[in-house]
Structure 1
Amino acid sequence: MSIGMMAELPFNYSPWTSMQTSSVFEPTKRSAFLDVYRGSAVLLMMIFHFCWDLRNFGFMEFSIYDPFWVYFRSVILTLFLTAIGWSTYLTLTKAKHPSFWKRDTKLFISAAAISLATYLAAPNQWIYFGILHFIFIASLITRPFAKWPISSALAGAVITIIYHSTNWLHFPNAFSVITSYVELPQRTLDIVFPFPWIGVVLIGPLLGYLNSHKCPTPNALIIDILAFMGRYALPIYLIHQVILFILVAAFKMVLDFIS
């Protein structure tokens, strides 16, 4: 199970430095606080997936419908998606000639790779619109609004409030209708629905406007680790679950062998 909701669920330094890396979740110039913010999401995502692997192999018992896990996932998505809008704002306002083609290309290729890999590994549950697919689309949608962070955040807040206070943006039958017309599996390992999450992305630019990226970060090992994870969020996302799954599976095999 990826950090996106399964189909069966109702689921850097400040001031600025010139260091650049290859992560698609970053602004043109890095902020230590934004890296730590994003790295915190990566760490929580790894914990989430590790617990799911433990559950998959019988080491833990819990329901993915439990409010704790639903809220836990929502926190992770909120951190990741606000960081998208936040970094988009920083790129648009700090770079003289902002260019997104490299990060867009990396996101597109990574999302396509996830689809291909899951299609080969689990053709009845392959991922066709998971978190990376959503981030790619949401980045394109958010870009025109990010230069007006207050208006963007107001629009995002309205979307979020409407979703949580009414049924207007729920579209409960949309998934079944789409899969009835398009040859897609009825269940998927990872899916992120547009609402309310596009609203969360639109709130992100406000964090940049408020200069949240300039918040100081303590000089501590855990902060350095989180910043590293935030800097390389995409490659960590792509490989961490494979590693965790193999480790838990190997541990299970050892226990079965010696018991």
Structure 2
Amino acid sequence: MPQKTLSDRLILADFARGLALLAMAIYHLSWDLSWFGIVGWDVAGAPEWRHFAQMIAGSFMFLVGFSLVLAHKNGIRWKGFWKREARVVLAALAVSVVTYLIFKDQWVKFGILHSIAVCSLLALPFVRLPSFFALLCGAAIIALYLWLGDYVLPYPEFFWLGLNSLHEVSVDYVPLIPWLGPVLLGVGCGDIFQRYGLLKYLRGSALPSVGLRLFAWFGRHSLATYLLHQPILFGAVWLGVTAGAFGDIQLRNFQQSCLEVCSQSVDVEQCRQACKCTALQMKRAAVWDDLNARPDDPDLREITQQIFQVCLRP
């Protein structure tokens, strides 16, 4: 792409979207590694990972609002808006279908693409208003979420609002409350940047670096990048597991779990030897594969415990 075209665009805004996509890719790769049991990170539940995911979602939603101003401040371009809205809605439906086939009960009912589609529609009127209204409403929605705490509506049908009475179990859940808040903050900031001539500072240099151009390219194609990066990462990890690139994951996870429980009351080295012995004896007794297939089977767990007690004896 010619340098002139790059400098005419707000390349630093594209770069910011590219960085957000990189952070999302890091999170999703970590989630994939955890899902397959390659690492012991609690990506789905640990507070640090949850805050990381919230920061990523917040940055995306803020940039959605900021981009609305860039596209429609001088007059809403309805044809372009509905064309983009249709692409996002179709992509959101595709994500729902694919995740339902893969994750069943954890499928994406209202993920970030669903939220972007609805929030874009709700935030559009604020684009034509002074920044004060968008900033005030955005901050109010976030404050409302923090203030409500555990309060919920007694109707699960309103799960998309974020006030559902049942905890949503999903691999991606981005409800309107509080995520409409960052979108409106983005609208307000975008209006300030445009109103006071600050957009010129987002154009970057006439000769941007290779790294800047690379992230900006991904940022300009954020929807395609979002849709493709996780299938690629998930598929690559799956291929690695299938090819044995990560070693015997089941054996490693069993020994680690066994060691954690045993070492609470027994010497660590003795536990390590007992856990290795248990896994070996289970394989010889032809119950190893059955245990991995049915880890909650009480009969198999009883057999495992008996083998472990024998291995633990000095």
TM-score (norm 2): 0.65
Alignment-mate amino acid for residue 169 of structure 2: R
Residue equivalent to 1:131: 112
Distance 1:95 1:177, change over 3 A: closer
Give me the CA root mean square deviation: 2.9
Distance 1:33 1:98, change over 3 A: farther
Distance 1:109 1:257, change over 3 A: closer
Checking the alignment, whether the CA contact within 8 Å between 1:152 and 1:203 is kept in structure 2 is yes
Q: Give the one of 62, 66, 71 matched to 2:51.
A: 71
Residue 167, structure 1, aligned to residue 148, structure 2: yes
Residue equivalent to 1:111: 92
User: Which runs of 5 or more structure 1 residues have no equivalent in the other structure?
Assistant: 1-11, 18-29
Residue equivalent to 1:156: 138
Higher relative CO (Cα under 8 Å, sequence separation at least 6) belongs to 1
Q: Distance in 2 between matches of 1:185 and 1:163?
A: 15
Checking the alignment, whether the CA contact within 8 Å between 1:81 and 1:197 is kept in structure 2 is yes
- Equivalent residues, number: 230
Q: Give the one of 163, 181, 193 matched to 1:199.
A: 181
Checking the alignment, whether the CA contact within 8 Å between 1:36 and 1:230 is kept in structure 2 is yes
Q: Give the one of 226, 244, 247 matched to 1:255.
A: 244
Whichever of the two has the greater Rg, that structure is 2
- Choose between structure 1 and 2: higher helix proportion: 2
Residue equivalent to 1:238: 227
Q: Distance in 2 between matches of 1:150 and 1:178?
A: 29
Checking the alignment, whether the CA contact within 8 Å between 1:13 and 1:32 is kept in structure 2 is no
User: Which runs of 5 or more structure 2 residues have no equivalent in the other structure?
Assistant: 160-165, 249-314
Q: Give the one of 59, 66, 73 matched to 1:86.
A: 66
Checking the alignment, whether the CA contact within 8 Å between 1:124 and 1:187 is kept in structure 2 is yes
Checking the alignment, whether the CA contact within 8 Å between 1:14 and 1:32 is kept in structure 2 is no
Residue equivalent to 2:17: 38
Higher alpha-carbon deviation: 109-118 or 37-46: 109-118
Q: CA deviation at 1:258?
A: 6.9
Q: Distance in 2 between matches of 1:69 and 1:258?
A: 26
Higher alpha-carbon deviation: 188-197 or 198-207: 188-197
- Secondary structure of 2:229's counterpart equals helix
Q: Distance in 2 between matches of 1:16 and 1:205?
A: 23
Identical amino acids, percent of aligned pairs: 32
